[in-house]
Structures are given as structure tokens and as C-alpha cells.
Amino acid sequence: MKLKDKVAIVTGGARGIGFAIASRFAKEGAKVAILDVDKAKAEEAVRKIKEEVKEADVIAIQADVSDVESVKKGVENVVNKFGKIDILVNNAAIYLGKPFHEEPLEYWEKQFRINVLGTVIPSQLVVPHMIKNGKGSIINISSKAAITGEPGHAAYSALKGAILSLTLAMAVDLAPYNIRVNAICPGPTETDLLYAATTEEERKRMAQRSPLRRLAKPEDIAAAALYFASDDSAYVTGQRLAVDGGMTIVAVERF
């Protein structure tokens, strides 16, 4: 019960990594708001968590992280329901990829709005509530692609890299308010998003590139998020943690 009496918002929490984080937080005693653009999926996620954790206090909120008014309404609903916000996980993101010279500006613009502004907007709206509480933890989900050069998704890699720089800037600006800001860089993770974007053979090759010889599971990322959300990391801010089985520390053949 490392998050007992804490209130957390998880953006993009209806599936994949976001769902695993929301579920783990609920198991650790947090009150959790799943904020997702897909209302039906978010409500389904809430039902799944409550089936597994009978005492879970979890709600679904429909919001588009790239739209200020939508997120503002969602944050207000969380505060009205739970009275405060202690933790924000900026997980919502999309993936669009082609070789650099073929990537249309549309890919850059759409991913910028959701992957970057979709981190900025919820953070700016949540921070005043954390300042009021006298503390808080913000966890930004970046990617291994922000650290290593990879073919086929320059825009995604660059914008996830922006999340790492943003994390550093936020950590410095918010430290006086006892608000910690850290980032997680998942490697290839067994989610619907990965399965939709890759073949089985490609996933096997990805697993072989990892020193641990497997892909990440969403629960692996959730465990890292728990560390940053809990008081175990009370003196940790401005850090990035690669949860990638060691992929970023070895040189591998990528082409």
C-alpha cells in the first residue's frame, strides 16, 4: 500500500502501459482517475480494475490531452471527486512512423500535439493543485527511441526526446514546490500499439536485441512508475529510467 490515500491521474490509461500503471496504483491504495479520449475503453478499464481490486476507487474521465478545455474539465472532475491530486502520469501518446525523408509534416504535427502538448497541458493544469498540497510527483512516459537512433520513426523519436528535455526543465522549475518530475523510457513493450505496428518476426528480432532476451511487459513499466510515484523516490527528480532490458546499453545491428 505504497500509495495509500494518494490521488493519481493516468492519461491514456485505458489500455497498454497506462492501464498497467493505473491497475498497479490501485493495488497500492491510490485513488485513480483514468483520463482517456476513448470513454468506452476507459470505463471498461475501470471495470477490469474493480474486478481485480474489490476496494479500488477508480473513475473514468473522457478527455483529449491536446485540448486545454477538455483536460481542464477532467482535472476539475478529479478534484471535485477526490479533493486533491498527488500524482500525474503523462502516458497518452500516438505513434506514426515512416523513413525520415518520407515522413509528412502531418505526422510531426499530430504527434507533437498529442505526445508533447499532451504532456504539457495536463501538467500545467495539475501543478497548481500540487502546489496547494505542498508536494507532488509527475511521471512522463518517454521512450527508448528518445535515447538511441532507430530507423523508421524520426518524428516519434524526436518528440519523445523532447519529453526528456521537458522533464529536466519541469524538474528545475517545480522543485521549489516539492514537486518531483521524472521520466520513464520503455523499450518495446507487449501492447496493442506494438502488435499493430509490427509483425511477429519483427517482435522476435526486437526481443533478441535485449540482453534480457525478451520484450517488456506493461507491468514492468508500471513497477517503475510506482517507484517514482511513491515516497521511495522522495529525493529523486529530473531523472530518466530506461526500462528496456538493457537495449540502450549495448550496440546492436539495426539495419
CA atoms within 13 A on the CB side of 141: 29
Three cell numbers, residue 69: 478545455
Distance from the Cα of residue 48 to its chain's centroid: 19
Q: What is residue 192's predicted lDDT score, i.e. its pLDDT?
A: 86
Q: What is residue 179's predicted lDDT score, i.e. its pLDDT?
A: 98
What pLDDT, in 10s, does the model give residues 33-70?
A: 999 999 999 999 999 999 999 899 999 999 999 999 99
CATH number of the domain residue 99 falls in: 3.40.50.720
Three cell numbers, residue 54: 474489490
What pLDDT, in 10s, does the model give residues 192-251?
A: 888 888 899 999 999 998 999 999 999 999 999 999 999 999 999 999 999 999 999 986
Domain membership flag for residue 253? no
What DSSP designation does 112 have? I
Known catalytic residues? 156
**Residue 134, by phi and psi: left (phi above 0), alpha (psi -120 to 50) or beta?**
left
Burial class (CB in 10 A: 0-12, 13-18, 19+), 197: middle
Domains identified in the chain, total number: 1
Q: Which residues have CB under 8 Å from 1's CB, separation 6+?
A: 28, 29
Contact at 8 Å (CB) between 65 and 92? Answer: yes
Phi/psi at 143 (nearest 5 deg)?
Answer: -170, 155
Q: What's the domain range around 39?
A: 7-246
Percent of the chain at pLDDT above 70? Answer: 98
Percent of the chain at pLDDT above 90? Answer: 91
Domain membership flag for residue 252? no
CA distance 125 to 8: 14
What pLDDT, in 10s, does the model give residues 217-234?
A: 999 999 999 999 999 999
Choose among 64, 91, 67: nearest CA to 8. 91
What DSSP designation does 191 have? S
Helix (H) or strand (E) holding 90: strand 87-90
Domain membership flag for residue 55? yes
Q: Which residues have CB under 8 Å from 240's CB, separation 6+?
A: 142, 147, 164, 167, 182, 183, 184, 185
pTM over 0.85? The answer is: yes
